[in-house]
Amino acid sequence: MRYRLVVFAMICASERLLSQSPNIGPPPGKLVDIGGRKLHLLCSGPTTSGGAVAPTVVLEAGASAFSIDWTLVQREVARANRVCSYDRAGSAWSDPSTPPGDASVARDLHSLLQAAGERPPYIMVGASLGGMFVRLYQADYPNEVAGLVLVDPATEDRLFTYFEGKAVLIGSLTAEQMRSTVPQRAVAVPRRKPQTGAPFDKLPAELYDLRIKLDAKLIASIPDTVSPEFIAAFREAERARLTRLLALRSKEEHPLGDRPIVVLSRGVESSAEMQAVHAGIARLSTNSRHSVIAGSGHEIHLFEPSAVIRAITDVLTAVREKSRL
């Protein structure tokens, strides 16, 4: 339930004018035009006269998260590799999608990387909700993705809603069934305070303060209520995304082939069921590893950045040397 509230609030942000939000200052990266709107992209690491050192690592944040959340990982990976983080539409310095909620995350990211001249192949790294987004990117642009790292990812087989009085997988419903779950009246959006303390305080002090401002901006951009029409569009987009991921898994035993993939699970507030689900995601490739990071909470890239750095490095090595993990 917490996952759905966070994602719902995040997407609602695009319905309100961002000018009402706190001033967050200039972006650390650059604003790239992807066709009438701009997204924030922060790339670092070595390049050559012929372009970026391949493969380029692309970092996809979770729900209600930002490009700067990857700082501890990005700075280390960038010592020897090209690496890019960014903010999705409506988040941090990035313009909202137009119309609200209509843009595809994968399409946005593809346009962003192309416009910025960051060429494939990519190692896609996704945290939480970002884990599903990078898998969808791979499905849409399979020739561009050489490997994956999924950091305590959200998965299509652990996201439920109530239908006819029972908890069912969102991805198992038809569009008509999902429409029947939409409320008939406007719904109040839950309010929260900016996230503070652990693990976000592991960021450098100036970035920790900036993150609080980014979160306050996100919260300020969320309307007090949303219409049934908006809820219906949001739920259908989520259903379609999850249905597609379930379908991709049912087509063949190893839909990711032999692409190297590392899946990391948190060790704190975890469960055997969740870890088994993550192990199943790893088995989508014949060249994979699943690891439980003891002592880490959900944001492994902040709690234990060395574990994420190692996973990225191992996938890079496997891609470059065409070897097993």
What would the pLDDT profile of 32-46 be if each residue is shown by its tens digit? 999 999 999 999 999
pLDDT above 90 (res 205): yes
pLDDT above 90 (res 142): yes
DSSP string of 203-228? S-HHHHHHHHHHHHHHHHTS-SEE-H
Backbone φ/ψ region at 312: left (φ over 0), alpha (ψ -120 to 50), beta: alpha
Q: Is 324 helix (H, G, I), strand (E, B) or coil?
A: coil
pLDDT above 50 (res 199): yes
Class of domain 2-321: alpha beta
pLDDT of residue 251: 85
Rounded to an integer, the average pLDDT of 199-220 is 96
All residues at 6 or more sequence positions from 21 whose CB lies less than 8 Å from its CB, including other chains: 216, 217, 218, 220, 221
pLDDT of residue 295: 95
pLDDT above 90 (res 256): yes
What percentage of the chain exceeds 90 in pLDDT? Answer: 82
Task: Describe the crossing of helices 2-12 and 228-251 by its angle, rounded to 10 degrees.
Answer: 120
Residue 252's pLDDT band (boundaries 50, 70, 90)?
Answer: confident
Rounded to an integer, the average pLDDT of 212-228 is 92
Cis-peptide, bond into residue 55, ω within 30° of zero: yes
pTM for the complete prediction? 0.92
User: What residues does each domain of the chain span?
Assistant: 2-321
